[in-house]
Amino acid sequence: MRALVQRVSEARVTVDGRVTGEIGRGFLVLVCAMQGDSVAEADWLARKIAACRIFRDDAGKMNLPLQAVDGSILAVSQFTLAANGCESGNRPGFSAAAGAMEGEALYERFCTTLAGAGLQVARGVFGADMKVSLVNDGPVTIWFDTANR
């Protein structure tokens, strides 16, 4: 699985003009299941992100995890994280992404594992055309890929 985590002071996702998920301080997590991924990858990724220490401590260092700052997560499925590069053309391919049924099940597992860690988790709508707005804090953006663990 792949995830792009952005430290935010606020984030929101809307579908057809309706807010489906919204948070204040926390992480906006764009997440994609890849072909061959299993619940082991979803669980590992959720645990890794839940423990990620990228909030400032009293000394100004990125040293605090999400729970220490009462932060929340907005998890948004994004199959385009599976894009191959445009090395041989100008249109990316997404064939490395898991199929819709697998992808949705792993996205749900990822969210459930985060919630099981005691985090507040807001969500987008899997497979929907979503509008995501955020205020990136820092900016701080971190890339995770279970293939590199």
Q: Which of 78, 113, 144, 146 is catalytic?
A: 78
The pair phi, psi for residue 147, each rounded to 5°, is -70, -20
Q: Which of 35, 80, 94, 141 is catalytic?
A: 80
Decide if 55 is catalytic. no
Q: How many CB atoms lie within 10 A of CB 129?
A: 7
Q: Which of 79, 110, 113, 146 is catalytic?
A: 79
Decide if 35 is catalytic. no
E strands along 34-129, which residues?
53-56, 62-65, 72-77, 120-123
The pair phi, psi for residue 64, each rounded to 5°, is -110, 140
Decide if 79 is catalytic. yes
The full length of the chain comes to 149
Identity at 115, one-letter amino acid code:
A
Measure the CA–CA gap between 53 and 97, rounded to whole angstroms. 28
Q: Which residues are catalytic?
A: 78-80
